[in-house]
Amino acid sequence: MNTFDLLMLGFSEAMTPANLGFCLIGALLGTLIGVLPGIGPTATIAVLLPITFFLPPLAGIIMLAGIYYGAQYGGSTTAILVNLPGEASAVVTALDGYQMAQQGRAGSALAVAALGSFFAGTVATFGIAIAGPMLSSFALNFGPAEYVALMVFGLLAATILASGPVLKAIGMILIGLLLGMVGTDQATGAERLTFGSLDLFDGIEFTVIAIGLFGFSEIIANLERSGSEGVKLAPMSRMWPTREDFRRSWPAVLRGTGIGTFLGILPGGGATLASFSAYSLEKKVSKHPKKFGTGVVEGVAAPESANNAAAQSSFIPLLTLGIPSNNMMAMMLSAFMIHGITPGPSVLTNQPEIFWGLVASMWIGNALLVFINMPLIGLWVKLLTVPYRLLYPAILLFCCVGVYSMNNRIFDVLLAAGFGLLGYAFRKAKCEPGPLLLGFVLGPLLEANLRRTLLITQGDPSIFVERPISLTMLAATVILLALMILPSFRKKREEAFQEEEA
Amino acid sequence: MTCLKSLPLAAAMLTLAGAAHAEWPTDRPIEMIVAFAPGGGTDIMLRTLAPYLEAELDAQFPVLNRPGAAGEITYTALSQSRPDGYTVSSLNTPGFLTMQIDRKLRFDPADLCPIARIVEDPGTFIVPASSEFQTLEDLVAFAKENPGAVSIGTTGVGTDEHMAMLQLERTAGIDLTAIPFGGANEAKTALLGGHITAIGLNVGEYATSDKNAMRALAQFAEERSVLAGDLPTAKEQGFDVIMSSERGLATRCEVPEDIRARMAEAVDAALANPEFQAQAKQQSLPLSFQSGADWQAAMPARLDRYRDIFALIKEGQ
Amino acid sequence: MNAARGDGPDLLTAGLFAGFGALGLWLARDLDQGTMAQMGAGYLPRAVCAGLILLGGVIGAMALRRDAAPIEGMRLRPLLVIVGSIAGFAFLAEHGGFVAASLWLIIAGSLADPGGRWRTVLMLAGGLTAFGALVFVYGLGVQMELWPI
């Protein structure tokens, strides 16, 4: 059978009424938990896992997959509407998306995000179908040394996405790295930076920091700015993107899709990098990089398509090698195992209906999501017309419950309140929290892989330049860094001259 | 008359009060605290088991996840619960034992009594299918020639894989390099990419992996596991390495003994249920029931063994 | 902030960076340094903290040479009320169940915005609590008691 026949087999499996129904349920549920900040797909899927015992294998897996990519979809909604990224991948969407919403262009931002995601999901799904096995064997070439190079590159990308001075962005990344080191050191088992507290033993959760720095501090800042008359948002001017919006997002979506599909296949951390890298690339190639962060549509289109493409292509290592690339995929692996299916090359040959059925259902699910979300945009936008004094208590409640539900402990809620205070201080200091989050996410990966590399080579760092992939990425990092620093030096010198003249 | 009439009633009430133990469980739910995040091996195992326990005891078993600190958060919560038989928790070795060695704990391990062991999963060493090593002996011979060149992926210091590695180093007189990973899946990825020589895994994890891509060299059990009947043990190959992880249930020791016995019976009966066994087989759970008392009796010897190994780690540093 | 020189926000940045660096160094004082081949638990934390202190110093020095720029004014009311209501939620979630915690969070949190009226606040609190109980506790299985135990 060639790819086309197999794809047809997949569609015939995925189009049965029952499977279609489970796909819809999954996508709906995913959208719901994606919109609710803090409630992540991982916990939801865990609760639903036992239910899938009673479903046929394909139906259960289709539903869980639907929850996963539905949540990716829904996560951007809160990022755009109330500046609350539920997951690492939505942090950059909030940068320009929230600004657009403040200017009354929430509808455009949501529509561009939905359409861009759908396009990216389609491309990535067919990418899995056509080149899945080939891509995954390439991904295996990424050893510890390559990851170090990739993470260094990713951290540099984080400095690009900040619109303020480079030095502040670097400092925020360093604080993120430091926060990522809190907890038990994976390699030696030593407790680090925990103040001796058992609650910090496993480190800090991403959601705690994100909700504190973004959610809580945004609420405090909004209330502070408004004073007694209550926060007012800009009136809704448009529901639908303009032709200009479409013209400008189109290439951004294409680039985002490419980056997302590629980074998504890398096991461990690749998908997180996708939206950050896509945004940074857009800013680099743009003719007006200064406008990023003030509500440009490319700043929504690129990261949204990248994270959806990555969500799809992160299935590649799981389906073709049996290796989950993140926690969600580990959960999917459990779902397969509950049904006695071991994902890997043997599934491709022995049970093609499972692999191809899932691939086909992912495309159908993406299409369903557009149908679900397009009419919802009107509703979401209406939500913004609710007076802020009624809206913010609801956001507070959702944030608190979401943070609590991760580990069922109040400590996380208190910690998030602390990060709210810190976020407030950062605002006063004019420091952007985005790079901090990226440093926090990538830091542990960078440290673990750096130590692993040097353990394997017994302390010889030359491996980084001997391996072609790592050499290429490090070279790209150096060039990018030079490009960034040179203009700012030039500007500094100009300023200095002007001062002297004055 | 009224007095006489109410006497039997009073008597009945007295008996009721006296028999409160025997009445366990009433319709109150029995909370099952799981020390790991939803979706992990222990969590799935207990969530699969819960409906069968509910059928055996005619009581509800809601699962509450309190992940963190290798189980210490859960054990602390259990030791602070009321000793009335309505709170149980997961219990995992070697974690439960190794945390007693060099950590200041927030609970007293002597407060927790195992109810029953459900699973025993021995450790293995896995190499990629393309590796030149066919047996543990091949690997040891190579490591003798090239000290430090053999890298073994583990999931951190003091984990079962790491302790198995240290035992092998000692018994074979070789020098291996431990490479810590965040989890078994990360280690597997690095193994398949050829970035490290071998990794430690549990037999249960190996059984659900793609066997065309990797090969097990030995299992570190006294006897071959039900999941891998054709894989020789390290002892059979001449190396004294014993390391397995066990999972079961525990409650407070202050819970009356008859209640604990009823719980153990229920676990035993649930494990014998063919339906449960079918589900366990699909998940590659190496079922191995042991009563709480037997399990507890075996723990001190294990603890001593781990103490010796930890002393070795200290020397190494 | 009243000095003729010194960029307020940047000086605050410098303080925050250097403060984090110093705090990190202090917390990491007992950690193993290790070697390049066998990095200890303290190797990278110290490197990062040193970087932060250095960076804080540079930013601070540059800010001092610039013209004075004040930090935006602060209002304590929203800050204290929001943080306090969240802390109260955390305490009540543990001891008083979801309903009490949620009512407290919304009613106390509403004090941050002086424009609110009691009737709307109470209705909002009741509605959101019912919604939260249905969606989170029943629907999504968040492991929280509804009522005090």
What pLDDT, on a 0 to 100 scale, did the predictor assign at position B139?
A: 94
* A127 against A330, higher pLDDT: A127
| Residue where one domain finishes, among candidates B198, B221, B243 | B243
What tokens were used for B195?
């970035």
* A49 against B47, higher pLDDT: B47
A250 vs B: CB within 8 A = no
Q: How much of chain B exceeds pLDDT 70, in percent? A: 90
* Cβ-Cβ contacts under 8 Å, C55 against chain A: 167, 170-171, 174
* A222 against C13, higher pLDDT: C13
Clarify whether residues B179 and B227 are in a common domain.
yes
Summarize the confidence of residues A61-87 as an average pLDDT: 83
What pLDDT, on a 0 to 100 scale, did the predictor assign at position A450?
A: 92
C59/A168 touch (CB, cutoff 8 Å), yes or no: yes
Clarify whether residues B185 and B236 are in a common domain.
yes
**Does a structural domain hold residue B22?**
no
Domain count, chain A: 1
CA atoms C7, C9, C10, C15: torsion sign: positive
A420/C83 touch (CB, cutoff 8 Å), yes or no: yes
Cα separations in angstroms, A258 against A176, A247, A251, A252, C149: 28, 18, 11, 10, 53
In the 3-class helix/strand/coil scheme, how is A7-63 assigned residue by residue? HHHHHHHHCCHHHHHHHHHHHHHHHHHHHCCCCCHHHHHHHHHHHHHHCCHHHHHHH
pLDDT tens digit sequence for A180-231:
999 878 777 678 888 878 788 778 988 888 888 888 888 888 888 765 454 5
**Helix or strand or coil: residue A359?**
helix
Clarify whether residues B128 and B181 are in a common domain.
yes
CATH code, domain with B58: 3.40.190.150
What tokens were used for A459?
């302390």
* Cβ-Cβ contacts under 8 Å, C83 against chain A: 216, 220, 417, 420-421
Residue B52 has a CB neighbour count (10 Å cut-off) of 20
Q: How much of chain A exceeds pLDDT 90, in percent? A: 13
Domain carrying residue B213 = 122-243
A389/C52 touch (CB, cutoff 8 Å), yes or no: no
The answer, yes or no, to whether residue B9 has pLDDT greater than 50, is: no
Clarify whether residues B33 and B115 are in a common domain.
yes
Question: In a mutagenesis test of the A interface, which of B101, B179, B276 is the best target, namely the one with the most A β-carbons within 10 Å?
Answer: B179
Clarify whether residues B134 and B95 are in a common domain.
no
* Cβ-Cβ contacts under 8 Å, C115 against chain A: 228-230, 389
The answer, yes or no, to whether residue B251 has pLDDT greater than 80, is: yes
**Helix or strand or coil: residue A287?**
coil
| Residue where one domain finishes, among candidates B200, B221, B243 | B243
**Does a structural domain hold residue B206?**
yes
Summarize the confidence of residues A439-457 as an average pLDDT: 88
Clarify whether residues B218 and B251 are in a common domain.
no
Beta-carbon-side half-sphere exposure of residue A300 (alpha carbons within 13 Å): 36
* Cβ-Cβ contacts under 8 Å, B310 against chain A: none
| Residue where one domain finishes, among candidates B227, B243, B259 | B243
**Does a structural domain hold residue B158?**
yes
**Does a structural domain hold residue B12?**
no
A397 vs C: CB within 8 A = yes
Clarify whether residues B143 and B239 are in a common domain.
yes
Q: What is the C-alpha to C-alpha distance for residues B189 and B173, in angstroms, rounded to an integer?
A: 29
Specify whether the CB–CB gap between B228 and B244 falls below 8 A. no
* Cβ-Cβ contacts under 8 Å, C135 against chain A: 36
The answer, yes or no, to whether residue A499 has pLDDT greater than 70, is: no
Domain count, chain B: 2
Helix extents (H) in chain B: 2-18, 41-57, 72-79, 95-102, 136-145, 160-172, 184-192, 203-207, 257-272, 274-282, 292-316
A39 vs C: CB within 8 A = yes
Clarify whether residues B137 and B233 are in a common domain.
yes
C52/A429 touch (CB, cutoff 8 Å), yes or no: no
C61 vs A: CB within 8 A = no
* B251 against A408, higher pLDDT: B251
Summarize the confidence of residues A339-348 as an average pLDDT: 72
The answer, yes or no, to whether residue C97 has pLDDT greater than 80, is: yes
Interface A-C, measured as beta-carbon pairs within 8 A, has a size of 200
Chain B: touching chains (3 or more CB pairs < 8 Å): A
What pLDDT, on a 0 to 100 scale, did the predictor assign at position A377?
A: 83
Domain carrying residue A420 = 3-501
Clarify whether residues B131 and B221 are in a common domain.
yes
B282 vs A: CB within 8 A = yes
Identify the band that residue A316 occupies on the pLDDT scale cut at 50, 70 and 90.
confident
- Bridging pattern class, strands B151-154 and B177-180: parallel
What pLDDT, on a 0 to 100 scale, did the predictor assign at position B274?
A: 92
**What ipTM does this complex have?**
0.92
C55/A400 touch (CB, cutoff 8 Å), yes or no: no
Clarify whether residues B80 and B227 are in a common domain.
no
What pLDDT, on a 0 to 100 scale, did the predictor assign at position C148?
A: 80
What pLDDT, on a 0 to 100 scale, did the predictor assign at position B3?
A: 43
Helix, strand, coil percent content, chain C, rounded in steps of 5: 65, 5, 30
Closest partner residue to A219 among C39, C82, C140, by Cβ?
C82
Q: What is the C-alpha to C-alpha distance for residues A219 and B310, in angstroms, rounded to an integer?
A: 50
pLDDT tens digit sequence for A132-187:
777 777 778 888 898 888 888 888 877 777 777 888 989 999 999 999 999 878 77
What pLDDT, on a 0 to 100 scale, did the predictor assign at position A353?
A: 83
What pLDDT, on a 0 to 100 scale, did the predictor assign at position A54?
A: 73
pLDDT tens digit sequence for B27-84:
778 889 988 776 667 887 888 899 899 988 888 888 887 777 778 888 988 998 888 8
C94/A393 touch (CB, cutoff 8 Å), yes or no: no
Nearest CA in chain A to C46: A178
Nearest CA in chain C to A184: C41
Nearest CA in chain B to A321: B210
Rg (CA), chain B: 23
Summarize the confidence of residues B77-101 as an average pLDDT: 88
Q: What is the C-alpha to C-alpha distance for residues B209 and B128, in angstroms, rounded to an integer?
A: 12
* Cβ-Cβ contacts under 8 Å, C93 against chain A: 400, 404, 410, 413
Identify the band that residue B12 occupies on the pLDDT scale cut at 50, 70 and 90.
very low
Clarify whether residues B103 and B139 are in a common domain.
no
CATH code, domain with B176: 3.40.190.10
Identify the band that residue B20 occupies on the pLDDT scale cut at 50, 70 and 90.
very low
B 68-87 near A (Cβ less than 8 A): 68-69, 72-73, 76
Clarify whether residues B65 and B167 are in a common domain.
no
pLDDT tens digit sequence for B296-311:
998 998 899 888 888 8
- Bridging pattern class, strands A191-192 and B198-202: unpaired
User: In the predicted model, what is the mean pLDDT of chain A?
Assistant: 82
The answer, yes or no, to whether residue A420 has pLDDT greater than 90, is: yes
B279 vs A: CB within 8 A = yes
The answer, yes or no, to whether residue C1 has pLDDT greater than 70, is: no
* Cβ-Cβ contacts under 8 Å, B276 against chain A: none
